Structure 1
Amino acid sequence: MSVSAHYQHTVAGPVIFAGIGLHTGEHVRVAVRPAAADAGVLFVRTDVTDRDNRVPVTADAVCQTQLGTVINNAADVRVSTIEHLMAALAALSIDNCVVELDGPEVPIMDGSSEPFVQILDRAGRRRQDVHRRYIEILAPIVVEEGDKLASLTPSDRFEVAFEIDFTSQAIGHQRVDLVIDEDSFREELSNCRTFGFVRDVEALRAIGLARGGSMDNAVVIDGDRILNPEGLRRPDEFVRHKALDAIGDLYVLGSPIIGRFEGVLAGHGLNNAVVRALLANPRAWRVRTLAMELAQAG
């Protein structure tokens, strides 16, 4: 762990990008701007002018988890599909920033976190002279729903394991188990795309979802076939994307984790459920400030 990991970071300067929302199909323009230490990640809906348009990222702000993570504020201003950007912010150790957007949904880009990593690389990072606070897992937290499971258990580093099992031969049974830091996220997970089945598209669009989905921003499966002409970026791209999602969903805690996450057949709902279960059990975790420990050791 580098010395810079002991301190909070924000983006060094503003960066602007635009794209289409996966579920709304709307074109959205986004600006990521620096924020003060201890500010956390704040979304601002610049298209909303009649009520509070600031939506801070917290575990309690998550209001919907169907095929994406949605947050809202007390005025019911919502921001959808935050998880891929949140995963990039987590991996690049961006603790504090303001994300301004002129629509209801973070653009899906190519369906992975890689475009967000590239955007944040353009912005650069600035170290802030405030110690970074980590959430250290002290005791197991397990949430189960039928055959699905999400857990947080003690570890001396941040680990993510995920397991999926689909009847489609295009996916089948897949498992990934990684120690997560910036390098491993960039190399092992960041370019892994979201995925969906042709059979579900019409039903999803009927309830206002997947209106912007295409083979430009998702791996599309029809039965046992992958329809994307370019194929997969990795043989196990599907489970790696689920691990990416989990990293973004966990970062609604507002601090990086020292501990192990494991998901079995889980999704955004169970990811958020284990976060809420952790916060509801204060004996299962503590806040660690590594810079203070380094000073004491010296």
Structure 2
Amino acid sequence: MNRFATKQCTVGRVLSFTGIGVHNGKPSSLTIEPAAVDSGYAIRRKLDDESYSATMPLHHNRVSRTYLCTAVDLGDAGTVSMIEHMVSALSGMGIDNALITVEGNECPVLDGSAGKYVEAIVASGIETQPAEKMFIKIKRSVTVRSNDAFAALEPYNGRAFDVEIDFESDVIGRQRMIFDWSPKRYVDDVSQARTFGFIKDAKVLRQAGYALGSSLENSIAVDEGKILNQDGLRYEDEFVRHKLLDAVGDLALAGMPIYGKFRSYKGGHGLNALVLNSLFASEQNYEIVPASALPLEFDALEELPAGLELRGYIRSVG
């Protein structure tokens, strides 16, 4: 029996966020508004003169940079970077349509996870729309590689992520997470995982203009075999969970939710973008299908209680 809402969804009201960019260190604000059926995720910038740039689809073919984050090209309006956490929240919660407006050229990092976005979506309610959800169904496996790292999309009866990382760090090491998607599981198991970095890299990154807004308030800091954040980790394997969070956001740039399995080893934004390019290189790799044609077994959106207090899902270890 299909237990998941087969109708398209949007946010229940306008959501607003303010903060700083983790890389440029500058103030940034962002709004997410309800959008019409079949509009997908659309993005625009609010400019210095209070006008708005042209609204464009937030799509993989607009990805312009994948070093340390995902950035998209908005033509004459320049680029907007660090979009992956916000888009991960939308996709992870089953939102199909949204209008995103960014003031600045980087999305606010907030606490370094997707949790603040998810909390706002839950509080706003999720609006079901009068059109059927559409999925990109994987018909043929595609794989991209870089040395021993890889990312792949494969046929699978569901929406699954199998993400593995391997760092030469006693704190991180080798971690793997296999995740069968549902909105509730995304809230519980993924949404609170924060971005992370190594103190040994901080000076070089800042000299290059990155991580200027990074702090213990928005990142996990790893230094010589220890975690510097006073409260420790939210999940024991928070590092791989954040990589999975990023993958959910990056793959949402396909334009529709993917029905299939994503696998990666030592992956990141670059390979995530490349595997989408490979997928769409041939129409033999995929087909567009309505939700009613799929044997979906996801948890219903209605299982999320109104006003869910996400802090109850944080576990501190170490």
Q: Check whether TM > 0.5.
A: yes
Rounded to whole Å, the distance in 2 between the matches of 1:293 and 1:269 is: 30
Deviation of 1:225 after TM superposition, in Å, equals 1.2
Partner of 1:247: 248
Report SS of the residue matched to 1:230.
coil
Look up the equivalent residue of 2:164 and give its one-letter code.
Answer: E
Q: Which residue of 2 aligns with 1:264?
A: 265
Normalized against structure 1, the TM-score is what?
0.94
* Superposition map of 1:278-297 within 5 A: 278-291=279-292
Name the aligned partner's letter for residue 18 of structure 2.
A
Q: How many residues align?
A: 293
- Distance, in Å, in 2 between the alignment partners of 1:69 and 1:84 is 10
CA 1:3–1:163: 2 relative to 1, 3 Å? closer
1:60 counterpart SS class: helix
Judge conservation of contact 1:43–1:79 (CA < 8 Å) in 2: no
User: How large is the Cα RMSD of the aligned pairs?
Assistant: 1.6
Query: 1:55, 1:77 within 8 Å by CA — same for their partners in 2?
Result: no
Q: How does 1:66-215 map to 2 (within 5 A)?
A: 66-75=67-76, 77-215=78-216
Q: Which runs of 5+ in 2 are unaligned?
A: 296-318
Structure 1: which 5+ runs fail to align? none
- Aligned partner of 2:20 in structure 1 is 20
Change (3 A) 1:175 1:14: same
Q: CA deviation at 1:67?
A: 0.6
SS in 2 for 1:216: coil
* Superimposed CA distance per residue, residues 173-230 of structure 1 (whole angstroms, 9 cap, x where no aligned partner): 1111111111111111111111000111111111211111001001001121111111
Q: Residues 77 and 54 of structure 1: is their aligned pair in 2 closer, same or farther, counting only changes over 3 Å?
A: farther
Instruction: Verify the 8 A CA contact 2:135 2:256 in the aligned structure 1.
Output: yes
Deviations, residues 213-271 of structure 1 (Å, cap 9, x unaligned): 00100100112111111111111110111011001000001111110000100110000
Contact 1:40 1:97 in 2 (8 A): yes
Alpha-carbon distance between aligned partners in 1 of 2:290 and 2:186, rounded to the nearest angstrom: 23
Contact 1:164 1:174 in 2 (8 A): yes
- Kindly state the Cα deviation for residue 93 of structure 1 after the two structures are TM-superposed: 1.3
What is the TM-score with the length of structure 2 in the denominator?
0.88
Matched, 1:38 2:38: yes
